[in-house]
Chains A and B, each alone.
Chain A
Amino acid sequence: MYRQKYIFLLPGLLVLVAIILFPLLFTIRVSFSSWDVYNPGLNWIGGENYARLWEDARYWEALTRLSVLTVGTVLLQYTLGFALALLVWRDIIARRFFRVLFLVPMMTTPVVMSVIWRTIFHESLGPLNPILDAIGIGAQPWLSQAGHAFAAVMIVEVWQWTPFMFLLLLAGLLSLPNEPFLAARIDGAGPIRTFLSVTFPMMGAISVGAILIRLIEASKLMETVYVLTSGGPGTSTETTSYYIYIRGMRDFQIGYSASLSLTYLIVMSVALTLIAKALIRLMVKDRT
């Protein structure tokens, strides 16, 4: 009788095998081949691809750059998102209007948003440089100098995804019980002490959740770079996903890009697990 349950599990298992298990196992196999545009096929070359990537400085640079971008943008998104959520949490004038307004960037297609930002950052035709010029800062080489281009990618990412953080954190704030805040007022805690001792600790679990979701999403950063800078100038804004895309889809080094992908998957899984554990230890007080 209990065998019948497997029949019901079958559709789900099939989907799982088709879209996760098979591609993963196939990618592992491909990563041990030299499959490329000249020699398509699953020959066996052992760990040659992995030895090559170990020596591939461009890959490790992209990974380091991605880590900086991911951690930097997510921290900024968290800080700004929290500040905005706190701003419209309690009764303020036009609270509903602001809540919707802050969500607008998230509702726009990422690629379209990146195209708009590319226009804004355009050094001679975009509107940003004339404004900077007018206020005395002067025109900036937004997309033609490494540091500026890196900052441009960060700005767009923060602009695009702060609303998501804002939404999760506002939902968290709205779900907090009112009593501890009443207690804090009676116990003589001012607004700053209340935030540090009550609001922030009570938001620990939701903060960790929001940060992790964004870290996972941000670690796949690709479309902003693709549209805004194409990884340039040089390789100064190239992220891991974008580099794997170049190797796999432009150079058609399928075997090599499979080994890059798998290494990236393992590094990210380990890193995110460690970060998650550290964040939970740091921010979630009530783990009982």
Chain B
Amino acid sequence: MLELSNLTLAEGRVAHLDDVTVSFRKGRLTTLLGRTGAGKTTLMRAIAGLAEPDRGRIALDGKDWSRLAPWQRPVAMVTQQFINYPHLSVLDNVAFPLVRRKVPQDKAHEAARDMLGRVGLGTMIDRRPSQLSGGQQQRVAIARALVKKAPVVLLDEPFVNLDYKLREGLREELVDLLKAERETIVIYASTDPREALQMGDDVILMAEGRAIQSGEPQNVYARPGTTRAAEVVSDPPINLIGMEVSGGQLRLDRLADLPAHALGRDLPAGRYTLGLRAHSIRQGGDLSARVSLTEVSGSETVTHLQAAGQALVMLERTVTNHALGTTITLSLDLGEALVFGAQGRLIEKEPVHG
């Protein structure tokens, strides 16, 4: 198990890592999910020894890494950029970590050739990285990371600079490749909640340099501990709406009064925040809203709306092109709604319908 305890790293007044304590299990793919600047890359760089924490401890199976130089750490890493050695052939690129470990060259080349075959580059071993496409260059970097058989593999948004189709394909290939590595700790950084939910065995949510929640992806998605966690784990963005409860009645700020709603029955009177995922807002109903942006992605449509000064996001599982500025009517399905207390913490409840 890889354990990080109280990891803190700041530059001036900006905290890139703020007292991060998390652990990663062997044979599992853990996704670090957070927006840009959340501290994912810094955390990976700290694990790899490329960034020096001000405080805290990194230990693999109880063995402290804090004093190990980067080249002494058993870590492989793939970054966002396609990082390879431009002066070496594809084969020598992949064999490099093995040659560095004084593996005989023929054996290093054999292992590299095998790994290149597995990532689909078996016919390109004599080329230079500059003669390959972006996706192929990143496969070289992935092959180089995996050929080391390092106990810890760090994947820092490896597909973010590739086009959508290629990203999907490579992601599936990578998951297949990693399944074979049963003793390996794989850490995968992503800004895309869907990717994290699809790929990861575990997920750690990060925001402002802190690890704000961890667990199995479905649990974290279903019960984000705070409004911040809900924002990080939701794509399209979750709708957070101020709410007043009094006598079982819900009053959504600027939007609607919902008399004697099931959601309000168990809540004491007071202020809350309602978390409503985009798919829980549907077209047709009593609420009117103006269309401010429509995004069509694949077979889904995400529509950004303004309703009485409250910004809302609606997800439809069809391709619908709402004209900008037009007014449409909406209904809110509170069945899967999340309720957060005054401190922004999730109030656990049984699923309700009504």
Contact = CB atoms under 8 A, between A and B. Distances in A.
Given A197-B96, A288-B131, A188 B83 contact: no
Given A179-B83, A180-B83, A286-B87, A189 B100 contact: yes
Contacts of A286: 86-87, 128
Contact of B86 (A180, A182, A186): A180
A187 B97 contact: yes
Contacts of B88: 201, 285
Interface stretch (B32-40, B64-72, B239-247): B64-72
Contacts of B100: 187-189, 193, 197
Of B49, B85, B101, B128, most A-chain CB atoms within 10 Å:
B85
Contact of A186 (B75, B99, B101, B128): B75
B204 interface: no
A190 B69 contact: yes
B84 interface: yes
B5 interface: no
A193 B102 CA distance: 11
Main secondary structure, interface of A, reads helix
B16 interface: no
Interface in A170-184: 177, 179-180, 182-184
A81 interface: no
Contacts of B101: 188
Given A188-B71, A188-B101, A201 B87 contact: yes
A190 B102 CA distance: 13
Nearest to A187: B97
Contacts of B141: 183
Interface residues of B, number: 30
Nearest to A205: B87
Contacts of A177: 86
**How many interface residues does chain A have, given as a range?**
20 to 34
A198 interface: yes
From B75, B87, B97, residue with most partner A Cβ within 10 Å: B87
B79 interface: yes
B71 A185 contact: yes
A186 B48 contact: yes
A9 to B, nearest CB: 37
Contact of A185 (B70, B85, B87): B70
A184 B96 CA distance: 9
A202 interface: yes
B249 interface: no
Given A179-B81, A288-B128, A186 B76 contact: yes
B315 interface: no
B144 interface: yes
A186 B71 CA distance: 6
A177 B83 CA distance: 10
A183 B86 CA distance: 11
B148 interface: yes
A182 B83 contact: yes
A180 B97 contact: no
B278 interface: no
B50 interface: yes
Nearest to B145: A186
Contact of B83 (A183, A189, A193, A197): A183
Given A186-B50, A186-B77, A180 B69 contact: no
A187 B48 contact: no
A182 B75 CA distance: 13
Q: Most chain-A CB neighbours within 10 Å: which of B70, B128, B131?
A: B70
Contact of A182 (B50, B87, B97): B50
Interface string A190-206: 10010001100110100
A187 B50 contact: no
A185 B47 CA distance: 13
- The listed residue with most B CB atoms (<10 A of its CB), out of A177, A180, A190, A198, is A180
Interface of A: 177, 179-180, 182-190, 193, 197-198, 201-202, 204, 285-286, 288
23 contacts: A179-B84, A180-B87, A182-B83, A183-B141, A183-B144, A185-B71, A186-B75, A186-B77, A186-B145, A187-B97, A187-B148, A188-B70, A188-B71, A189-B96, A190-B69, A190-B71, A193-B71, A197-B99, A198-B87, A285-B88, A286-B86, A286-B87, A288-B128
Interface of B: 48-50, 69-73, 75-77, 79, 81, 83-88, 96-97, 99-101, 128, 131, 141, 144-145, 148
